[in-house]
Structures are given as C-alpha cells and as structure tokens.
Amino acid sequence: MKILHIDCSPRLDSHSRALSAAIVGKLLAIASDATIIRRDLGVAPLPAATADYATTLSSPTTLAAPVPGSLDLSEELIHEIEAADMIVIGTPMHNLTVPAVLKAWIDQIMRAGRTFRSTPAGKVGMIGDRPVFIGIASGGTFSGERANQPDFLTSYLSAVLGSMGLKSLQFFPVQATAFLDAEQGAIARDAALAMLDLADMSPPPRLVAAGGA
C-alpha cells in the first residue's frame, strides 16, 4: 500500500500536522509495510503557475501541443496521486478556505483531459477514487452550534477533488485554535483524533471513475 502524505502548514508544530501524522499512524497500524509518498507544501511550497503552463492549458489546441516542459511539474504531482492507495492531507484554514500552498497544488493537478473531462453535464473525473483523509486546523469555529464563520474549505475540496474522481473524503477538524491554550488545544486535538476510530481506515480496492483510470 502507498500513502500520499501532504502537509500545508508553514509551522512544524501545527495542529494540522499533528492530525495528519496521527492519521498516517493509524494507516500504518493497519498496513505496517506501507510506503509513504511525502509532499510537504508548507516547507517546500510549489511555484506559482508559469506563463508556459497557463498557455498550454488555455485551449484544446494548446493542450494538444503543449509548450515543452510546461506540464512536467503537473505530471509529477498527478503521478503521486495515481500511485497512492490513500491520501492524507493536513491543512490549516486560511481566511475561510484553503491556504495558498494547497491551492497551488490543486492548480497543477486539475487538468482538462488528464484528471477530468468536460461534458455538457459538468466535469467527469478521470482519477480512480480512493480514500482521502483531511485534517483541518482552524483559528475560528466553522461548524457545529458555535460556528461563527463561513466554511469554504470543506465544500471547495469536496467539489474540486470530486471533479477529478476523488469522492471518498473524510474531514477531521480542530477548531478555535486561536483561543485555546496548550492544554485545551491538546484536548481539542484528541477529540478530532477520536473520530479516526469511527472512520473506515481499511484500504479498499481502487474504484475507477467512469471514462478514465
């Protein structure tokens, strides 16, 4: 089994990193011989999309004859997803949604004709479905009875990853971290990690999206 482990926080001691590490630990308890594919976007952010990349993606004609080298990084990132049986993402919520480093990753893996097909009914994923576990740390509260801010992160990731065929998403949030001391933060993190015991962590057979692999 292969696990793609992605972190997005620039802080090495962040709540989201603790969550993603705990999720990976649970998976390794199930499959101790699993291989980890590591992509640390917080420590090594991806570059912004280049002019050549934007030009290549601008039309079906340019996609058919891409600027040489313009898709190399995109292909590398997509291959990491295709090689993984499960994906684990640890991310903070920045300004109600995903951080810039995670958006840069998404911008490289969302490609017409490669990870999704455009149809009159909408986008159809070309990446086979597999479990995606997402640990979220938020300074505010975005869900539950005490929610006091919008949540554009979970809905966005569900839509954008689902468009590629990744539909089996599970979210594990730690909220209001800006107002928690160290002890309260640990309690909140433990509560989120407890949800892992209720989650289906077993690696199911790959599900292939209609129209692609």
pLDDT for 213: 36
pLDDT 10s digits, 129-140:
999 999 999 988
pTM (whole model) above 0.75: yes
Topology annotation, domain 2-198: Rossmann fold (3.40.50)
Evaluate if residue 159 carries a pLDDT over 50: yes
Q: By percentage, how much of the chain surpasses pLDDT 70?
A: 90
Tokens of 182: 């160290």
Contacts of 159 (CB under 8 A, 6+ apart): none
> Is pLDDT of 103 > 60?
yes
Three-state DSSP string of the chain: CEEEEEECCCCCCCHHHHHHHHHHHHHHHHCCCCEEEEEECCCCCCCCCCHHHHHHCCCHHHHHCCCCCCCHHHHHHHHHHHHCCEEEEEEECECCECCHHHHHHHHHHCCECCCEEEECCEEEECCCECCEEEEEECCCCCCCCCCCCCCCHHHHHHHHHHHHCCCCEEEEEECCHHHCCHHHHHHHHHHHHHHHHHCCCCCCCCECCCCCC
Looking at residue 201, its pLDDT comes to: 67
Average pLDDT, the chain: 89
How confident is residue 76, by pLDDT bands cut at 50, 70 and 90?
Answer: very high
The values of phi and psi at residue 90, to 5°, are: -110, 125
Least confident of 56-60, 62-66, 208-212: 208-212
